A and B are shown apart, each in its own frame.
Chain A
Amino acid sequence: MKSTNLTTKAIFLSVTVLLAAGSSFAGDIKGKVSVQGLKSAANIAVYVDTIPDKKFDAPSQHVVVDQKKMEFIPRVVVVLQGTTVDFTNSDPVGHNVYWPSISGNKKLTHNLGTWPKGEKKSFQFNDPGVASLLCNVHPEMSGYIIVATTPYFAITDKDGNYEIKNVPAGKYTLKAWSEDGKPVTQAVEVSASGATADLTVKK
């Protein structure tokens, strides 16, 4: 009886240690996105695709997309599925925000209406995919919201560099989305020291 208890405790302790060790096996995925046929490697979204049997709670903090000088700022943003985005208006003209579809699904179209400077409208993005942000009266305005199913994502800088932090060790599928280029998919294995994944986006 005494030995059984000890064994149970040892197993329990081992599992606990292993779990704790597993959670500390998280690294950063870094890399550089190169482009072929595109003007710039900036503003390309890089994110970890859906992890089977893994769900993530949406953050309570909202993401802000502003409209200023007739531009969406930031132009490209990635959010976790379920995140609420606040659309603010910093221009002295009325703006509106709508998207005709999410990843081509026109049933998911939505129009937030019109609001003046200083006000905001919010929307919770529960459907994964890409929403092209448009303004009905200023058709040159363009923005994008990529709704990801994992919280592991980043946007490239002007040189195409990106860094996704604290990705648990494991094997994943990395995806890259750009406004004018074709989607890219690449497998990546993250260890305790992280991983490096360079991608090439083509027109």
Chain B
Amino acid sequence: MNRSRNFTLKKALVVVLLGVLAVLTLLVVAPDGKAIPAFSRKYGTSCTTCHSNYPELNDFGEAFKKNGFKFPKDDETFVKQDPVMLGSKAQKEAFPEAVYPGQIPGTIPISFRYSGFFNWNAHQPTAAVQPNGPYPFVARTDLFAPNTFTIISAGSFGDNLSFWIDDDISTGGSGAAGGLGDGYLKYNDLGRFFHLPTNALNVRFGQFELDLPFTQARTIYLSDFDIYDQVSVAANGGTTNNPFSLGAPQRAIEFGGYPNNGNFAWSVAIVNGANDSPALRGQKDVYARVSYKFNLERDPESRHAIQAAGPTGPRDHTSIRVGGFYYYGTNVQNNGSTIPVPFPGGLSVKEPFYRVGGDLRFKYRKLELLGLGMVGHDSNHAFDTEALTFTGIHPVTFTGGFVAGNYWFYPWLIGTMRYDFVNSPSDFQNGISEHRTRNRVSPGFQILVRANVKIAGEYQYHWAQPVTPLDPATTFFRPHTFVTGIDYSF
């Protein structure tokens, strides 16, 4: 056992050293990265204007995004590619006798993003990969998996309309998911018609990641937040089988705002729900979030500027952002239709559920700390197969969250560390984990070889999973993973 462990450690060390060598080579010999995404092209500016570590946004990037993908002030003076006017500005006065004038980007705002990673996985016990073993075979190493190619298009249609579309178009190949991620249209400052402060009320509709405290779709980390992916499945004969996960994109209509582009933000979304499959129900879910950023800059001028005035250049504000979120929905099972139904007799059961949590983000110079905690609660029932009745029983609940820290050693070298935890009694009862709480530690690194080219790595120290079904002789193993690879956009 010790010899095997030493051998695997040596292999891991070799992989790391090879990776470091590759990075150093790329830093030195990689050609000048002239390739730039759509916004860089539009404004003729580097990715680092908006991104501290793409796709993570700095303060200016957040202001840019909030302003409908336009520079927060005097946008027109910065645009290097003139838009195509779909009517002169004077047409506004002619409305409604004329179509209200708008504009489209001067060039098609398309960007591409590729990511391909090398995986090193811990050795699976023999019992796990036997023909009747509980887990599928996982190769020790896998080059460029997942291997993803995404097309992104975003921009503005004039003063108040903006759009975003991203689609993973790599529908084949290893690890490819395929399909639309976000696709939405947003109207900024709808509230001005009601004499509300600037950007107090905006609306967007389509499919998009909800206004989560920390984005998963555009995270810098190589692995999802475990708590976001947590679903509720009942154990011990319960009916709960809810595919909803907070991190998945949702079809929704969202109202939200940040009055006067200040530190308070709110959003309420009407969500279609049941994201994994068509919603076999009429009712909709709802999601709400509020947050407040405490700007801790002492200098008043710096505090009110989009970015703080640092001694070596503009930087993000020192700040603490706190927030809370709440999702309420109903999972309907057995509602007819053509899918196989788990409960005979044409019955259906509605199982309301909620997710509620709070978050905190602290920024200070080169350090960023994140934290989130969440509670999940699903109604649960027992189904009497003879009486064909549902009886309410103990709900399915879980708690969990994560804490993380990122540190910019250099503008191009970022260290990351994350601790995920999920406490799910039903997961334990279903034999998914050794304990009620799954913990995971994920140290990592990110290297910006160029502003649009990144080498990233992450070691995921996983919770123990049972190799054999839970009984006195159950053994466990930890499916640790080391992921490293490349990511570039243009």
**Does A115 count as interface, using CB distance less than 8 angstroms?**
yes
**Does B131 count as interface, using CB distance less than 8 angstroms?**
no
A139 and B307 contacting across the interface, CB-CB below 8 Å? no
Residues A129-176 near B (CB distance < 8 A): 135-140
Contact with B along A70-111 (1 / 0, CB 8 A): 100000000000000000000011111010000000000001
B154 nearest CB across to chain A (Å):
20
**Does B275 count as interface, using CB distance less than 8 angstroms?**
no
**Does B294 count as interface, using CB distance less than 8 angstroms?**
no
- Residues on B with C-beta less than 8 A from A92 are 73-74
Contact with B along A1-42 (1 / 0, CB 8 A): 000000000000000000000000000000000000000000
A137 and B48 contacting across the interface, CB-CB below 8 Å? yes
Binds A, one of B7-15, B108-116, B308-316, B335-343: B308-316
- Residues on A with C-beta less than 8 A from B312 are 96, 98, 111, 113, 136
**Does B389 count as interface, using CB distance less than 8 angstroms?**
no
- Residues on A with C-beta less than 8 A from B44 are 70, 140
Chain B CB within 10 Å, residue with most, of A92, A93, A98, A113: A93
B437 nearest CB across to chain A (Å):
42
- Residues on A with C-beta less than 8 A from B307 are 93-94, 137
Given known contacts A92-B73, A93-B60, A113-B309, A137 and B78 CB-to-CB distance under 8 angstroms: no
- Residues on A with C-beta less than 8 A from B49 are 137-138
B313 and A139 contacting across the interface, CB-CB below 8 Å? no
**Does B4 count as interface, using CB distance less than 8 angstroms?**
no
**Does B319 count as interface, using CB distance less than 8 angstroms?**
no
**Does A69 count as interface, using CB distance less than 8 angstroms?**
yes
Chain B CB within 10 Å, residue with most, of A93, A98, A137, A140: A137
Contact with A along B57-91 (1 / 0, CB 8 A): 00010000000000101100110000000000000
CA of A94 to CA of B44 in the docked complex: distance in angstroms?
17
A132 nearest CB across to chain B (Å):
15
CA of A70 to CA of B305 in the docked complex: distance in angstroms?
17
B310 and A114 contacting across the interface, CB-CB below 8 Å? yes
**Does A116 count as interface, using CB distance less than 8 angstroms?**
yes
A114 and B309 contacting across the interface, CB-CB below 8 Å? yes
- Residues on B with C-beta less than 8 A from A135 are 313
A140 and B46 contacting across the interface, CB-CB below 8 Å? yes
**Does B471 count as interface, using CB distance less than 8 angstroms?**
no
B346 nearest CB across to chain A (Å):
63
- Residues on B with C-beta less than 8 A from A116 are 301, 305, 309
**Does B45 count as interface, using CB distance less than 8 angstroms?**
yes
Residues A35-85 near B (CB distance < 8 A): 69-70
B313 and A111 contacting across the interface, CB-CB below 8 Å? yes
A138 and B311 contacting across the interface, CB-CB below 8 Å? no
- Residues on A with C-beta less than 8 A from B313 are 96, 98, 111, 113-114, 135-137
CA of A98 to CA of B312 in the docked complex: distance in angstroms?
8
Residues B272-320 near A (CB distance < 8 A): 301, 305-315
**Does B210 count as interface, using CB distance less than 8 angstroms?**
no
CA of A114 to CA of B317 in the docked complex: distance in angstroms?
13
B305 nearest CB across to chain A (Å):
6
- Residues on B with C-beta less than 8 A from A69 are 77-78
CA of A147 to CA of B308 in the docked complex: distance in angstroms?
32
B451 and A94 contacting across the interface, CB-CB below 8 Å? no
Residues A113-134 near B (CB distance < 8 A): 113-116
Closest B residue to A90 by beta carbon equals: B77
A94 and B306 contacting across the interface, CB-CB below 8 Å? yes
- Residues on A with C-beta less than 8 A from B310 are 96, 113-114, 136
CA of A113 to CA of B310 in the docked complex: distance in angstroms?
6
Cβ-defined partner of A70 (8 Å) among B78, B306, B311: B78
A91 nearest CB across to chain B (Å):
8
CA of A116 to CA of B309 in the docked complex: distance in angstroms?
8
A173 nearest CB across to chain B (Å):
33
Given known contacts A113-B309, A116-B309, A139-B451, A94 and B46 CB-to-CB distance under 8 angstroms: no
CA of A139 to CA of B451 in the docked complex: distance in angstroms?
9
- Residues on A with C-beta less than 8 A from B46 are 138-140
- Residues on B with C-beta less than 8 A from A70 are 43-45, 78
- Residues on B with C-beta less than 8 A from A114 are 308-311, 313-314
B45 and A94 contacting across the interface, CB-CB below 8 Å? no
B48 nearest CB across to chain A (Å):
6
- Residues on A with C-beta less than 8 A from B77 are 69
Closest B residue to A114 by beta carbon equals: B309
A136 nearest CB across to chain B (Å):
3
Closest B residue to A95 by beta carbon equals: B314
CA of A192 to CA of B342 in the docked complex: distance in angstroms?
104
B413 nearest CB across to chain A (Å):
16
CA of A139 to CA of B44 in the docked complex: distance in angstroms?
11
A112 nearest CB across to chain B (Å):
9
CA of A19 to CA of B78 in the docked complex: distance in angstroms?
55
CA of A69 to CA of B301 in the docked complex: distance in angstroms?
21
A115 and B451 contacting across the interface, CB-CB below 8 Å? no
B311 and A113 contacting across the interface, CB-CB below 8 Å? yes
A136 and B451 contacting across the interface, CB-CB below 8 Å? no
Chain B CB within 10 Å, residue with most, of A94, A95, A136: A94
B61 nearest CB across to chain A (Å):
11
CA of A94 to CA of B312 in the docked complex: distance in angstroms?
12
- Residues on A with C-beta less than 8 A from B73 are 92-93
B332 nearest CB across to chain A (Å):
50
Closest B residue to A134 by beta carbon equals: B313
Can you name 5 extra interface pairs (CB under 8 A) apart from A93-B306, A140-B45?
A94-B305, A96-B314, A113-B309, A113-B311, A139-B451
Q: Which residues of B contact A (CB under 8 A)?
A: 43-46, 48-49, 60, 71, 73-74, 77-78, 301, 305-315, 451
Can you list 7 A-B contacts (CB < 8 A)? A70-B43, A92-B74, A93-B73, A94-B309, A94-B314, A137-B314, A138-B49
The 4 closest A-B pairs by CB, nearest first: A136-B313, A114-B309, A92-B73, A96-B313
